[in-house]
């Protein structure tokens, strides 16, 4: 996603102290969660009124996703989530955390929802503990997605249940149908530079 400048003819030259912050999420790991937190903080000092978060990801670590979610919840600015290409696993959940009316999926993009995966190996006790934690996280993320989309808490869990917990692929129109997205397009960003003269 790019932005363009609309400069009023009265302005001969200008210099922005801070360019608009557009956050791109390709991975979900500790480094990307830290970068996400930093860029959200930066966006609060640019003068922009909304923070675009572009998602193009196969997914990653659910705990890193949780860190990003905490950052979004503490933001004073609304978040626009924009899927370009793909939003799978953690990416699909992050999509749902865009502010209502500001969730976008490109018409050719793919969104995929599935259960949290632990991949735990080791002693029986460790595998059992990991399975319980995976079950807990599943309940948490499906409930959050449903609430973000204005659905009953078990809405997505029931749908995944019907699909026997196989990977669930959605196109842009299906995302709108389930209220994961509001628009099947990528928005345009404009930076307006003008001169306003007041007389009091």
Average pLDDT, rounded, for the chain: 89
| pLDDT single digits (tens) 135-183 | 899 999 999 999 999 999 999 999 999 998 899 999 999 999 999 999 9
Is the Cβ–Cβ distance between 32 and 1 less than 8 Å?
no
Instruction: Report whether pLDDT(186) > 60.
Output: yes
Give every CB contact of residue 2 below 8 A, 6+ residues apart in sequence.
189
Domains with residue ranges and CATH for the chain? 20-188 (3.90.226.10)
Q: Per the confidence metrics, is the pTM higher than 0.85?
A: yes
CA geometry: angle 82, 169, 59, nearest 5 deg: 55
Evaluate whether 82 touches 57 at the Cβ level (below 8 Å): no
Q: What is the dihedral of CA 122, 63, 53, 15, to 10 degrees?
A: -110
CA 94 – CA 145 distance, rounded (Å): 9
Positive/negative CA dihedral, 137, 140, 145, 146: positive
Which residues, at least 6 apart from 148, have a Cβ–Cβ distance to it below 8 Å?
96, 97
Q: Which residues, 6+ apart, have CB-to-CB distance to 75 below 8 Å?
A: 40, 44, 51
Q: Mapping DSSP to helix (H, G, I), strand (E, B) and coil, where does residue 162 land? A: helix
């Amino acid at each position: 996603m790019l932005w363009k400048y609309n400069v009023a003819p009265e302005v001969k030259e200008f210099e922005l102290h801070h360019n608009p912050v557009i956050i791109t999420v390709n991975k979900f790991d500790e480094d990307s969660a830290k970068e996400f937190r930093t860029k959200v903080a930066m966006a609060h000092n640019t003068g922009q009124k909304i923070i675009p978060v572009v998602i193009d990801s196969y997914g990653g670590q659910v705990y890193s996703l949780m860190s990003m979610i905490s950052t979004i919840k503490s933001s004073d600015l609304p978040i626009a989530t924009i899927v370009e290409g793909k939003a799978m696993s953690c990416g699909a959940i992050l999509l749902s955390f865009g502010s209502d009316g500001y969730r976008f999926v490109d018409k050719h993009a793919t969104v995929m929802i599935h259960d949290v995966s632990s991949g735990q190996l080791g002693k029986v006790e460790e595998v059992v503990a990991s399975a319980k934690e995976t079950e807990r996280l599943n309940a948490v993320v499906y409930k959050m997605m449903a609430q973000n989309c204005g659905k009953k808490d078990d809405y997505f869990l029931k749908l995944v249940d019907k699909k026997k917990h196989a990977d669930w692929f959605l196109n842009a129109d299906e995302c709108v149908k389930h209220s994961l997205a509001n628009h099947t397009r990528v928005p345009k960003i404009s930076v307006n530079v003008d001169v306003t003269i007041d007389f009091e």
